[in-house]
Structure 1
Amino acid sequence: MTDIRIITLAGALALGAFGTPAVGHEAYDGKGAYFLDTSEIEWSEVGSMAPPAKIAVLEGNPGKEEPFTFRLLLPAGYEIDPHDHPAYERVTVISGTLYFAHGEEFDRDAATALPAGSYAVLPPEAPMYGYVEEETVIQVHGTGPWGIDYLHPEHDPRR
């Protein structure tokens, strides 16, 4: 019989790069099936992004050498300052529209609109930035260790 667990996500602790998942009564161990109803997702502050962005780690720990999946809730008008990542970033737009671009300096005119359902793969250490006009949820998945490095230190909320 297949091992099936329904997990209640109790939130994510903003530690290190993006966070460590904090789950309810038991943690998903990477075996068997895993189901998470959207009504159970709880959002937490993102230590590596300026408020009021929120994060929900759905699987794994982005700071460890393992698969991970998390969602970011970006409020209307939110800007993602120029940054890069040490590993591939795979992004699916769940709702809203993400405007995303490569480059070291923020330039709205250079951004590409990625509406709900869009998918992007971005290589390691490639400078990028983005913004949203409406509340937008994106899902990021990959294999850690993963993190974010801002190109301009004054943009890093961890400082």
Structure 2
Amino acid sequence: MNLRIASLTLALASGSAAFVAAVQAQTAPDHGTGHLMLKPAELTWKPLPSIAGADIAVIEGPMSQPGPFTVRLRLPANSRIPPHWHPGIEHVTVMSGTFQIGHGEKFEEGKLTALPPGSVAIMQPKSPHFVLVKEETIVQLHGMGPWAVKYVNPADDPSKK
């Protein structure tokens, strides 16, 4: 039994070292602690070409590589995201505004659920969903990369237009 406890302790210690190394490898300011701490004014917003008028602030990433990512999306009023899915689990936290989300392969306003600030939505991998915001809305997304957006209808993919 002591051998099993020793093996578990060694495994946890090795995992902790890898975790600390990964956190320290982040390029965002760490205030000399190895931790990432950002105030809203410290976020760097850049245009998100796939959604007209939207911006993205990458907090942790990059989304295109294996590993954890955290981003914020600022969606302008009247944004509509057609049915799509992601290869990994998606965690969404509504920071401001109202985020309306529905599940399915067809955009149906009657299937939207309005999520006010503080709400959380978790979409399972390959689960088609769609979004509508009627007012400027900020959401925080986190998950594991590499990340992708796969549109149910390929014609909805803005990169194909």
- Please indicate the TM-score interval, normalised by the length of the shorter structure: 0.7 to 0.9
How has the CA–CA distance of structure 1 residues 67 and 29 changed in structure 2, closer, same or farther, with 3 Å as cutoff?
farther
How many angstroms does 1:75 deviate by? 0.5
Structure 2 partner of 1:89: 90
Structure 1 partner of 2:36: 34
How many angstroms does 1:45 deviate by? 1.8
Structure 1 partner of 2:7: none
Give the structure-2-normalised TM-score.
0.78
Runs of 5+ consecutive residues of structure 2 not aligned to the other structure = 1-19, 21-25
Question: Quick one: distance in 1 between partners of 2:84 and 2:144?
Answer: 18
Question: Quick one: distance in 2 between partners of 1:147 and 1:138?
Answer: 17
How many angstroms does 1:127 deviate by? 0.5
How many angstroms does 1:146 deviate by? 1.2
Runs of 5+ consecutive residues of structure 1 not aligned to the other structure = 4-25
How many angstroms does 1:139 deviate by? 0.3
- Structure with greater proportional strand content: 1
Q: Which amino acid aligns with 1:27?
A: T
**For residues 90-123 of structure 1, what are the alpha-carbon distances to aligned partners after superposition, in whole Å with 9 as ceiling and x for unaligned?**
0000000101011111111101011000001110
Question: Quick one: distance in 1 between partners of 2:84 and 2:28?
Answer: 30
Alpha carbon RMSD of aligned pairs, Å?
Answer: 2.0
Structure 2 partner of 1:107: 108
- Structure with greater proportional helix content: 2
**For residues 17-48 of structure 1, what are the alpha-carbon distances to aligned partners after superposition, in whole Å with 9 as ceiling and x for unaligned?**
xxxxxxxxx8149982111121122221224x
How many angstroms does 1:135 deviate by? 0.4
Provide runs of 4+ in structure 1 moved above 6 Å.
Answer: none
Identity of aligned residues (%): 43
Structure 2 partner of 1:17: none
- In structure 1, the residue corresponding to 2:41 is in which secondary structure? helix
